Amino acid sequence: MNPNAKLALHGGDRVRTAPFTQWPVYGAAEEQRLLEVLHSGKWGRLAGPQVAEFEQRFAAFHGCRHGIAVVNGTVSLRIALMAAGIQANDEVIVPPYTFLATATAVVEANAVPVFADIDLATFNLDPVAVAAAITPRTRAIIVVHMAGQPVELGAILAIAKQHNLVVIEDAAHAHGAIYEGQGVGSVGHLGSFSFQSSKNLTSGEGGIVVTNDDDLAAACRSIQNCGRIAGGLWYEHHVMSANYRLGEFQGAILNAQLDRLEEQTIMRDRNGQYLAARLRQIPGIHPQVRTTATTRHSYHLFLFRIDATAFGAPRAAILQALSAEGIPVSGGYALPLYRQPLFLNRAFGPYLPEIRQSLDYASVRCPNCETICARQGAWLEQSLFLGPQADMDDIARAFEKVHRQRHALTGGAT
């Protein structure tokens, strides 16, 4: 590459002109299973075999005995909280750098989200911050395997055991990720996955709760299925619940997608590690630090921090220049969850009526999360990592080009 090549942002040639791998990946296997469901006339979960097959296979893939498929990943978190016995006004510790649903599922369980800071290097919940956030009202911790890198579960579980807390793994990013040889979702008391359109395993929408605890599994199944219990009458309902069952069409797609997951996860992990090694050579670019306990990272996202001063250009200008070079890149979450209007305004609808006015999210401070949101965070999405190593080389060359031409990016290093 010409070291003096002009940035595409300023009229030069783009580094990347070919499209990256499109998502979702699908083919004849999905079509065959969908047609089987269509022609069977058994489209509901209780009438057909697809969802039951998927529940068993997906749970086993992650080292769990039980899987309860539901309509989406937010519902799966809420069901996990309800099954764990979370009561009104209990506190649940959550990270502030995650999708809204991690915290709103807590509110929908009529409990209080308490935000603990993340580690600046790993983007994951910091066990020290978790320990500091515990109060006499704390009943659970939701960890998020951010971007697909497992949280330091050993430290979190030790804290939970000391305080008799439930640990729920939000693994919406982490299909196929492995922590110290164990599939994520199997290490805590309950695990929650999402199958929304962008996820590494998708049926457009959907979710699942996994667990190795028989009693928790029975509670989740009852909540998922209108409060029914095994051996009970059809119109016999034991707990407050609703119909959260996943349909057979989604089950069909998920079974076919699951056949692809192992190979895709290996490819994402290999490409992610390769790209991280390349980008670490560029001043001011800090890929998410991989922990020694991470047996496999699922790379739903490739996270990195930009130190604008070390790089020599503002983050916004760097991201704009990379996009112009043909690299689809994002600045990630712009706000910590406690800075969302929902929490600042305590717009909780019918939930938390007794203590709502006492909650003060405006006073919450998580400095590492704020640094990442406001100044340093960025990511690349998972589908970029499903191509050959040459795709990673193109991404790295674009970063290198932007760094070489950083003097052409105006606005100062902020």
- Is 44 in contact with 245 (CB distance < 8 Å)? yes
Name the residue range of residue 63's domain.
28-257
Residue 272 lies in a domain: no
Looking at the annotation, which residues are catalytic?
A: 99, 170, 173, 196, 199, 228, 235, 245
Residue 106 lies in a domain: yes
Residue 132 lies in a domain: yes
- Per-residue tens of pLDDT for the chain, all 414 residues: 677 889 999 999 999 999 999 999 999 999 999 999 999 999 997 778 999 999 999 999 999 999 999 999 999 999 999 999 999 999 999 999 999 999 999 999 999 999 999 999 999 999 999 999 999 999 999 999 999 999 999 999 999 999 999 999 999 999 999 999 999 999 999 999 999 999 999 999 999 999 999 999 999 999 999 999 999 999 999 999 999 999 999 999 999 999 999 999 999 999 999 999 999 999 999 999 999 999 999 999 999 999 999 999 999 999 999 999 999 999 999 999 999 999 999 999 999 999 999 999 999 999 999 999 999 999 999 999 999 999 999 999 999 999 999 999 975 444
- Domain with residue 43: its CATH number is 3.40.640.10
Residue 328 lies in a domain: no
Chain centroid to CA 194: how far?
8
Amino acid at 334: A
- Hey, what are 162's tokens? 């000391």
- Hey, what are 154's tokens? 């050993």
Residue 128 lies in a domain: yes
Residue 61 is given by DSSP the state H
Residue 402 lies in a domain: no
Number of domains the chain is built from: 1
Residue whose token pair is 């009529």: 110
Residue 347 lies in a domain: no
Residue 196 is given by DSSP the state B
Residues near 275 by Cβ (< 8 Å), separated by ≥ 6? 287, 302, 385, 392, 395, 396
Distances (CA, A) of 340 to 91, 96, 298: 19, 10, 28
Residue 114 lies in a domain: yes
